[in-house]
Amino acid sequence: MATETSAKPLTGRVAVVTGASSGIGEASAEHLAELGAAVVVLARRAARLDDLVVRIQKAGGTAVAIAVDVTGAAAVQAAADRVAAELGGADLLFNNAGVMLPAPIEELATDQWQHQIDLNITGLMNVIGAFTPQLVKAAGERGVADLINTSSIAAQNIFPNFAVYSGTKAYVTHLSRHLRVELGAKNVRVSAIEPGIVGTELQSHVTDDGANQWLDGSKETIEWLTPQDIAQTIGFIATLPPRANLQQVTIMPTRQPS
């Protein structure tokens, strides 16, 4: 006798997650797979992606790893072409890869400025450029697709020495609001998620002493968010009814004031 299985809410959907080799992207890929989506995980560290794919598959999910540096437009386009050929195209894009390198502006850490601009803005745009046609096509066929961009509370509030990072994230939030209008008319929901501090590898790349002291100090008074907190939020956004689009979500550690 056939047993009735309750369909998972994202069954049949194809999710692409960038920055999936650690932190928020990794946890979100796992959660989207738990919710039934086939997930394609993108980042540069192939071994980390392969481990993630094995974990997802062991849990009964479907996952494909594509090692790619999102700052290269041609490589991202090749990844998108592979997603189209192997999985029929993406209908959920979590555009999440990013880097945070705070430092006083007078230190003229121009390599770090450029790194943040190249990844948080140019990389984000490369991914949007390569996958938007797939999102629009899927939304036309199925009535819904999602583009979720990772911004930050730094897009809204003032953090001394975080000017360049904050500028890149303000770009992400403002871009998302514009794209929501443009793509919403085609049933592609566009969201920006703006987390406060989440404990990930992000902090480990910070080289500025003052910023590291500020982060270390905050850890003593604030219980930081976990990547799983963000993953749950991404799952919530993607499982809302197609008519409902969470435009902008700010999620803070309860004790982080701003």
**Minimum CB distance to ligand NDP smaller for 95 or for 187:** 95
> Whole-angstrom Cα distance, residue 142 to residue 19?
27
Q: What angle do CA 87, 185, 98 make, to 5 degrees?
A: 55
For the bound state, the minimum distance from the C-beta of residue 131 to ligand NDP, rounded and expressed in Å, comes to 14
**Minimum CB distance to ligand NDP smaller for 56 or for 139:** 56
Nearest-CA neighbor of 66 among 131, 150, 112? 131
Residue 253 touches ligand NDP, criterion: CB under 6 A = no
193 with 149: CB under 8 angstroms? yes
Among 10, 15, 16, 19, binds ligand NDP (CB under 6 A): 19
> Which residues 6+ apart lie within 8 Å of 167 measured at CB?
none
69 with 54: CB under 8 angstroms? no
DSSP state of 6: P
Site for ligand NDP in 132-151 (CB under 6 A): 150
Residue 211 touches ligand NDP, criterion: CB under 6 A = no
Inter-CA distances, 11 with 32, 39, 49, 61, 161, Å? 10, 11, 22, 10, 43
Burial 45-82 (b: 16+ CB within 10 A, else e): eeebbeebbeebeeeebebbbbbbebbeeebbbebbee
For the bound state, the minimum distance from the C-beta of residue 144 to ligand NDP, rounded and expressed in Å, comes to 24
For the bound state, the minimum distance from the C-beta of residue 109 to ligand NDP, rounded and expressed in Å, comes to 17
165 catalytic per annotation: yes
**Minimum CB distance to ligand NDP smaller for 144 or for 230:** 230
Site for ligand NDP in 95-134 (CB under 6 A): 96-100, 119, 123
Residue 71 touches ligand NDP, criterion: CB under 6 A = yes
Catalytic entry in 113, 131, 162, 165:
165
Residues that bind ligand NDP (CB under 6 A): 18-25, 43-45, 48, 69-71, 96-100, 119, 123, 150, 152, 195, 197-198, 200-202
Q: Which residues are catalytic?
A: 165
